[in-house]
Each structure stands twice: as C-alpha cells, then as structure tokens.
Amino acid sequence: MQGSAEGALRSWEQLLNPIKLRQNLVRASVFLAAYELLQTVVKGRPKAFFLVDVVDDPGPGYKGKVLRLHKDKFLASCLWLKSLDAIDADDLKTLARIRRHRNEVAHELFQIVSGADREVQRGLLIDLMKIVAKIDQWWLREMELDEEDGFGDLHEIPDEEITSGNMMLLSMMLSMFDGDDSLLRDLHAALMEAQPAIKRKASR
C-alpha cells in the first residue's frame, strides 16, 4: 500500500512540475513526429519506385510486388525494402519495437508524461534515425544519383558523407528531444542573415 502511495506521489510530482511536464510532452511530440517521417520514408520509397510517369499512381507493379507482401502497407513496404537489401532482418525487428513504442506513446500519453517509471525511449529514436539514414543513403546510391549526374560513384562515398533532408530534420528533432535548441537557433540566425540576398535573387 505504501509503495503504491509513493508511486502516485511521484507521478503527481512529475505531472505538476511544469519543467518536467513540458520536457515529457516535447519528447513525446518529437517521437510521434519522427515516426510519421519514418512512415513517409518507408511507404514512400516503393510508391515512388513504381510511380507511373506523369500520373500520380504507383501502377500495377506496386500492388503486385509490394502490397502483396503483407496486408499492412507499412510492413509490406518494409519487406520490399528488405528484398532489395536496403534494410535487413535486424532492422525489421527494430522497426517492430519502434512501432510498438510509438503506439504506446500515442495511446498511453498521460501515463507516460505522468508516470515516474515510464518515459519516451531516446534509444529507439536513435534507432529510427539510423534506419531512415540507411534507407535514404541506399535510395540516393541506387535510385537517384549516378555518375552521369556529376556525383561520381556514390558506392565509393562513406555513409557519413551522404546526408538527406530527412536526416537533417531528424537531427534537429533529436536536439529538441534533448532540450537543446542551439542548432535551431543557429540555423534560424543564418537564415535571417541570408534572407535579404535570397529575396533580391528571387526578385530578379
């Protein structure tokens, strides 16, 4: 009885602490937003691959080679990416853990922001970032850029030298998760400094 009373007291202490509550809500929001980006990447790559020219329709190839793999579109897309070696079996297991935690955060938000023994898992956010980076780097190498575009052989370029817009966005989101907005402040300051030149160029 004493243990449950102490647990309830810790929960209320966390819930009524404005700094802690704000931190937990930001972390939950960041994780949910990052998962939406992950879904966009995972489901968007196969759709883009099978997209019929000019028409915004993936065509029969998408249904025949992607959607047939699983009734769940996200899982079907994951399996398609695995079949092309964009991700591996370990990534699929990690994606399942990320998805479970996303559902926990989304459907048990109050318990997470108020529970002293529960929290949004930073490690899974890092795993999510790694998988998005892996997919984007594979996509750039295999599907988008080649020597004819003047980029040389991307297979010879180390992963750390290939960065996508998704990867940069997730890095900013991780900074927010950690309560460090210095990166965003620096980027915003740089944008404000460059804004007059950008406007002059656009008006020509």
Model pLDDT for residues 63-73, shown as the tens digit of each residue: 899 999 999 99
For residues 194 and 28, the model is more confident at: 28
Going from the C-alpha of 45 to that of each of 54, 81, 96, the distances in angstroms are 17, 8, 19
Amino acid at site 52: V
In this prediction, residue 185 carries a pLDDT of 84
6 falls in which pLDDT band (50, 70, 90)?
Answer: low
Residue 143 confidence (pLDDT): 81
Say which range, 53-62, 65-74, 160-169, has the weakest mean pLDDT. 53-62
pLDDT of residue 1: 46
Do residues 87 and 134 lie in contact, with contact meaning Cβ atoms separated by under 8 Å? yes
Q: Which amino acid is at 189?
A: A
What's the rounded mean pLDDT across residues 170-174?
A: 95
Residue 152 has pLDDT above 60, yes or no: no
pLDDT at 157 over 80: no
Q: Does 155 or 19 have the greater pLDDT score?
A: 19
- The DSSP string of 4-36 is HHHHHHHHHHHHH-HHHHHHHHHHHHHHHHHHH
What is the C-alpha to C-alpha distance for residues 101 and 103, in angstroms, rounded to an integer?
5
Q: Greater confidence, 98 or 5?
A: 98
Residue 177 binned pLDDT confidence (cut-offs 50, 70, 90): very high
pLDDT in the model for residue 131 = 98
pLDDT exceeds cutoff 70 at 90: yes
Please tell me the pTM assigned to this model.
0.83
Backbone angles phi, psi at 12, to 5 degrees: -65, -35
Answer yes or no: are the C-beta atoms of 94 and 126 closer than 8 Å.
no
Lowest mean pLDDT among 51-65, 80-94, 102-116, 135-149: 51-65
Q: Is the dihedral of CA 145, 151, 152, 156 positive or negative?
A: negative
Q: What is the DSSP letter of 157?
A: S
Number of domains in the chain: 1
For residue 82, the enclosing domain spans 2-203
DSSP 8-state symbol, 156: G
Give me the pLDDT at residue 158, please. Answer: 78
